[in-house]
Amino acid sequence: MHRLIKAQIDLRALRRNFEQARERAGRRAVWPVVKANAYGHGVGPVVRALADADGFCVADLDEGLMLRELGVTAPVLVIQGAFSGAGLRAAIAAGLTLGVHDPEQVKLLLRDAAQLPAGSLRLWLKLETGMHRLGLQTEQALKVREQLAGLAAVAELGMMTHFACADTVDHPLTDAQATEFGMATLATNGPVSACNSAALLTGAYQSDSVVRPGIMLYGGTPLLGRTAAGLSLAPVMTLMSRVVAVKDVRAGESVGYGASWVASETTRIGLVAAGYGDGYPRHAPSGTPVRIGACDVHTLGRVSMDSLAVDLRTAGHVRPGDEVVLWGRGLPVDLVAAAADTIGYELLAGLTSRVARVYSGGERD
């Protein structure tokens, strides 16, 4: 492998973050969210490192089937559920738990249930309590629960919801959602699940039996105004590359496509082998932080597909071949995300397949 850019994935840090989630969860079960290739970290090594998790959550059926192919035997919640009879049967064959968030899915279940084996369906109704994304209105969900509970095919009926603003401590919408969900689930005896990382860390909801942390496991902050380090979360992914050229540009000369950055004085720049073809955000403006050795530098001009430029005026010792951290250890992904006007989730999940993931801290180390 000759490509200079790589993502080092520290599975020990992943486990430490998972232990934090366990501690916060207390007696509740912890089902890590491993959708989108485990937020870009590589779903196979991640689920193996978290083999003692109580279950896992993924977005869609294909991701759920992939976990079974990887040998995961724990429960797997497919958040978006199934959209066809074939999907229902595939989920049953693989023993997946299906989210139910839309009346069309309810119709499908009522249509097909009689032909499905008794006790074969594990369903979690997703309640719309304020996010206005996926979910059945609470009233509607309570009726659906009664309808489905009478079907021989149904083995488990859970209830879940998702908070829209748990990243902001004490947000009134979280309180409203928590109250509505708490009331709706008073009489349920199946699994009940509400908390994402933010709600788990702030304790915004504690009456669920299953929590669904994602970003905190990967060492990103789920809370606005709080750093991951301040929450004792360790970065799992460190995106690294190398300087491939060093040069001086003179006053008046520009750097990169669109000539968006123009030197006001003679400026030493470094070119780093990392670009939007790797998942580094093209919209990251000049000034986005980058770390070379112990030096904090920043980007200059537009990010290209395979390279980006950094300002070396404060790091004149840098030479081609020097190691660069784009995010991770020593440079939190949340800082880079803030500079690029996005969130750490997007940077981690957006890492492209051409970047090799190099794992440490796994069972084979």
Ligand X SMILES: Cc1ncc(COP(=O)(O)O)c(C=O)c1O
The Cα diameter of the chain in Å comes to 77
The active-site residue, picked from 107, 143, 247, 257, is 257
* Distance from the Cα of residue 86 to its chain's centroid: 28
Toward ligand X, which CB reaches closer, 212 or 302? Answer: 212
What minimum distance in Å lies between the beta carbon of 282 and ligand X? 23
Nearer to ligand X, 233 or 243 (CB): 233
> Which of the following is catalytic: 35, 126, 276, 280?
35
Residue 123 pairs with which residues in a beta bridge?
98, 157
Concerning whether 35 is annotated as a catalytic residue, the answer is yes
Nearer to ligand X, 129 or 307 (CB): 129
Residue whose beta carbon is closest to ligand X: 214
Amino acid at 103: P
248 close to 266: Cβ distance less than 8 angstroms: yes
Give residues in contact with ligand X (CB under 6 A): 33, 79, 162, 196-198, 212-215, 222
Our CA angle for 279, 285, 290, nearest 5°, is 65
One-letter amino acid for residue 172 of the chain: P
134 vs 295, beta carbon nearer ligand X: 134
Q: Kindly tell me the sign of the dihedral angle through the C-alpha atoms of 190, 194, 197, 200.
A: negative
- Measuring CA to CA, which residue among 204, 136, 115, 133 is closest to residue 123? 136
Closest to ligand X by CB, 243 or 343: 343
- For residues 78 and 156, give the distance between their C-alpha atoms in angstroms, rounded to a whole number: 14
Separation of alpha carbons 192 and 53, rounded Å: 17
Tell me how far, at minimum, the Cβ of 14 lies from ligand X, in Å: 14
Comparing CB distances to ligand X, the nearer of 198 and 274 is 198
Which residue type is seen at 252?
A: G
Q: What angle do CA 320, 325, 330 make, to 5 degrees?
A: 135
Measured CA to CA, the distance from residue 293 to residue 325 in angstroms comes to: 8
Least Cβ distance, residue 121 to ligand X (angstroms): 20
SS3 219: coil
Would you name the residues annotated as active-site residues? 35, 257
